[in-house]
Structure 1
């Protein structure tokens, strides 16, 4: 479907080669058609029918969240197209233009229902009104009970090619990413099988030692799920899963940068020790993100959100361990700037290009370049998202 050309001008545009001050960008048919300095606006952008003054604010590539369970009261596990679309709208208002709906450990039937719903939702042809659903991140059920965190231990089970195939069929091939504990029985054959299907393997909720992490890389694993959380910690005589995540350069690492899940100094350190392109910022947010403090449910587990922190609710009503987050991607960016002292331009790829590269979409998403999808956000000096564009269509306007 063709749309009228849209011009965004008077913007500070972040491109792979640096900032363009007083920049202008033309969107045509959902793609980035032209990028130029403000001085060329009359000559280069005469065809634009819709013009928007960015007022000198930042024009950035839209965020790509590859680990998100819900938000705005919506939950990816409920097997509801309305819930998937709702969470996509919520996260678009916080700068996310693409996401992977992320499952939780549950029964076979519950996971299959969620996967089928995601596949059906992706088939619906309609104008975007929120973040683009790129596919599914299958987190569970092939996880270790010793490191299950907020995953329901009653539903955890050993890896099985047969069960993976049932998930793959239900998802209609839309599983892009799978978290698995590599030390479990049959993990090797399931990892190798999934890799052959084109699934990115992320090691997580794992009690693996360093040697097992090394072997998992040989089997095809290329990623780590929420670094430091839900994994065997670093020890000077046994580097564990954390040590493997940091020392094995083949592994990209997710991080939840809310200041609760990972100490700010460790966030800064991870950026210094991992190679370029191997740090991925995620939210791991659940349905309570963007909602008032109170009691919620994560899968089948009762949780409490208090001042933005989400905890498991224990039998005596007190707060247990962390259970997902209420983080948004724009908050992750603001926090990481504060925690590390790095420039915005240095951090942005961890929310855009690097996750796009992990799931094989770097040629169409993740940077502001000619011919790429016009997935864009305008952000002000207070780290507030002012407008969000998905495939060239404005899906969020803070002033509206």
Structure 2
């Protein structure tokens, strides 16, 4: 006989103590911050404009308005928790609709038209859980990775087609689940791909896109070993590769190494009290922002471990400064961070209106909530106050679609 009642399982004393502590913190912090309550656990997030996309444990993707917290669309079709998502935007065809791409425990990758909410295609992508989907529209390929230790390339020359995607390449050098992907694009036919696995190994690949032969060839050109165990988050930009690991550290590596030997030396890792699950180096999105806004955020790195956010000043990477910790926003592991550029109406001295752009941080947690943080308040916390009127419960909470055993498996996979 199967049961979903946790009380019917043998549980370690430490697990019970952790659960009790989380219950107490949930009660204590229920009115803290500007939160959105979700009906299931978020497993991945993506912010575009004023909208938030969440991949969730109840097998759906939700599209929300960050200002109101209301659900705009729900994408149903997967038969297992949705673990990863990305958006496909064609830089060369601005009239092309933006597409949502999602990957799941059901081993498939699905593509959706976000304008019509129509499911365009389903591809059996891996023989085990899909861990990451990563769009490279400049090369017209989608890269996916999974618990089957494989990295695959998919042809996205005609992404609106209703047939499954065509596989145009495969990488099989990893010996553990491949959890994270990132890229440095050089041209429409070449890029450097970074793939990171649950043993902490980062492999570096030269990608060559052959459009006539409908292939993508990957050649391993290096391996980076900054961590002792699984990498949970990886971001690349400006010659910097940032990684967060279950070895309780966040690392910065320069790649390709600068010609100056002194500047190419990697800074010491940022040690954390527990597994580092997410990171957000604000220097990366700052590249595409107006100069005044970029200057305001460029120095900061946000990281997450357990239910806590950390804010660092990394303007001098070899001498990073921990500015503060934010411990009251969540009561379970934070799994994702994103930058939200929020437009705020202000009144000018002459009485005319103006919209000012403010940087906000969005955090997602296994406690089933999204928190929205004004960056200025994270750096200099204001006096405590109750939840603002804009806080919203997205939908009435519903019973989890996962059994107790599946909940435990989810927690283990998130801890890899």
TM-score by length of 1: 0.29
Would you tell me which structure has more strand in proportion to its own residues? Answer: 2
Would you tell me which structure has more helix in proportion to its own residues? Answer: 1
TM-score by length of 2: 0.28
Which protein has greater RCO, CA pairs closer than 8 Å, 6+ apart? Answer: 1
